[in-house]
Amino acid sequence: QVQLVESGGGLVQAGDSLRLSCTASGRTSSRYAMAWFRQAPGKEREFVAAIKWRSGGRTQYADSVKGRFTISRDNAKNTVYLQMVTLKPEDTAVYYCAAASFGLPVTIAAYGYWGQGTQVTVSS
């Protein structure tokens, strides 16, 4: 199985920056897509960003974060990052790392492996 561990969450003020990390271990594949999802209190889990381990590191972003968040990867470390800038209170959520076996999907159902999540709280 694949194990995913997130880190880097915390409490910040609006306009601040934060970088999340997700490290993968176990039976990983270079074909995997890695993604970040988030879930705010009382809301459904939503897609944030995704990246391929290979294929040139092709990426996909939700419209709500495009231009503010950047997903990247370090293949040697089996680690995916989410660099978040100009954070807003509406970015407050638990952020989850996930892995999919094929393609570069944006749906929850396509991802078979999930981390435990890391809390991001943005104050006004």
pLDDT in tens, 74-107: 989 999 999 999 999 999 999 999 999 989 999 9
CA distance 35 to 110: 11
> What's the pLDDT score for residue 63?
96
**Percent of the chain topping pLDDT 90:** 89
> What SS3 state is found at 32?
coil
Pull the structure tokens for residue 30. 């270079």
pLDDT of residue 28: 84
- Residue 52: DSSP 8-state: E
Six-digit token string for 11: 């409490």
What pLDDT is attached to residue 116? Answer: 97
**How many beta carbons lie within 10 A of that of residue 89, not counting itself?**
11
Cα distance between residue 53 and residue 38, in whole Å: 21
Mean pLDDT of 40-47: 96
